[in-house]
Amino acid sequence: MNLELSEEQEAVRRLAKDFVDREIAPHVIAWDRAEEVDRSIVKKLGGVGFLGLTIDEEYGGSGGDHLAYCLVTEELGRGDSSVRGIVSVSLGLVAKSIAGWGSEEQKRRWLPGLTSGEYVGCFGLTEPGTGSDAGNLTTRAVRDGDDYVINGTKMFITNGTWADVVLLFARSTDAPGHKGVSAFLVPTDTPGLTRRTIHGKLGLRGQATAELVLEDVRVPASTMLAPEGKGFSVAMSALAKGRMSVAAGCVGIAQAALDVALRYAGEREQFGKPIAQHQLVQELISDISVDVDAARLLTWRVADLIDRGLPFATESSQAKLFASEAAVRAANNALQVFGGYGYIDEYPAGKLLRDARVMTLYEGTSQIQKLLIGRALTGVSAF
């Protein structure tokens, strides 16, 4: 793989860096405290093309390859993981699934709005009783004439209260295929669908995370994405690419940890000299830097494999596993560099750590990534 970025990729990275410094960085503390990022950020993200990366221009997308997508995701993760998550879900999990599996009609119905930021998408897989064991979901879609009637509850849904459309996974009656799960594109204003914001999150506080309750939600059969019974394949293919996106966001967190630790270590003096001159502080900083580079290289490898049309799912699990744990370590080391100030939210390290922590949990916990990697290597499922 060529690690040198092309001119186009460098330009996208610069654009993302400027966007983060101008539109996100000044508001990070306020959004975190208010438990909500300013919703106008979505249209701004769409305006610069970040919600349409890798999607065909024909459907309103801004094209580009997966490495460019990673570069933007890294920068957004460096700025605010709450904003990064909006893109990773609305574009990464929802729009990309529609682009990959959707009918012409579904692409024309949803992609221009999702890529411009007029619409927000959310991904409804997890339920109160099924997280890691997602294939055992209990939401049911029952065929009734030309419609399906859906009942169930979805938990921890990123963008949930903001979303205009939910890519919803339900067990459809008599569906053939893996576990009989089907995917539906359900407009969130459909009668019977109610949403409740989940407050009090440790991190990603600016993000609209919600519980969705579906009571006799009636949708036309034409809202089904991919053939009946293929829903689990839709979910797993979305998550395989999604894990690269989470990993890239973690690279951004680790990079931010390095940036702020370096700056603070150069300014703060103890024992008559900048703390950067103490060997044990240098150890903290060098450990962060190794985590940044190792996580970045694993993540870029996934993008490279996707762009070359090669298998990438195991490498994506490896990148997500390593980068998420690395982001937690890096943010924690940065907090240590800040001493007591690291514990106060006026300083950046604490938020980085709080935001990093969930990365080892969602889109498959670290344990689940290890089982996926183990299964690929040994050929034996230990789930």
Residues annotated catalytic, as ranges: 363
Burial code of 336-347, b = ≥16 C-beta within 10 A, e = fewer?
ebbeeebeeeeb
Give Cα separations from 115 to 56, 203, 234 (angstroms): 10, 26, 20
139, 214 Cβ separation under 8 angstroms? yes
Taking CB positions, which residue lies at the least distance from ligand FAD? 131
Q: Give dist(CA 16, CA 69) in Å, integer.
A: 10
Closest distance to ligand FAD from the beta carbon of 263 (Å): 29
Structure tokens of 254? 């680790």
By beta-carbon proximity to ligand FAD, the closer residue of 261 and 319 is: 319
Minimum Å distance from CB 261 to ligand FAD? 25
Of 64 and 160, CB closest to ligand FAD:
160
For 219-254, letters b (16+ CB in 10 Å) and e give beeebbbbebbbbbbbbebbbbbbbbbbbbbbbbbb
Nearer to ligand FAD, 9 or 365 (CB): 365
In whole angstroms, what separates CA 123 from the centre of its chain?
Answer: 10
Instruction: Please name which of 344, 264, 250, 266 lies closest in space to residue 29, comparing C-alpha atoms.
Output: 344
From the CB of 52, what's the least distance to ligand FAD, in Å?
20
Whole-number minimum distance, CB 137 to ligand FAD, in Å? 9
When the beta carbons of 173 and 365 are compared against ligand FAD, the nearer one is 365
Measured from the Cβ of residue 269, the count of other Cβ atoms closer than 10 Å reads 11
Task: Tell the smallest beta-carbon distance from residue 324 to ligand FAD (Å).
Answer: 12
Distance CA 21, CA 28 (A): 11
Cβ partners under 8 Å of residue 10, min gap 6: none
Task: Tell me the β-bridge partners of 113.
Answer: none
* 154 burial type by CB count under 10 A (0-12 exposed, 13-18 middle, 19+ buried): buried
The distance of closest approach from Cβ of residue 194 to ligand FAD in the complex, given in angstroms and rounded to an integer, is: 17
The nearer residue to ligand FAD, 343 or 383, going by C-beta atoms, is 383
At 178, phi and psi to the nearest 5? -60, 115
- Could you list the residues that contact ligand FAD (CB under 6 A)? 89, 123-126, 131-132, 156-158, 201, 204, 209, 358, 361-363, 365, 367-368, 371, 383
Nearer CB in complex with ligand FAD: 89/334? 89
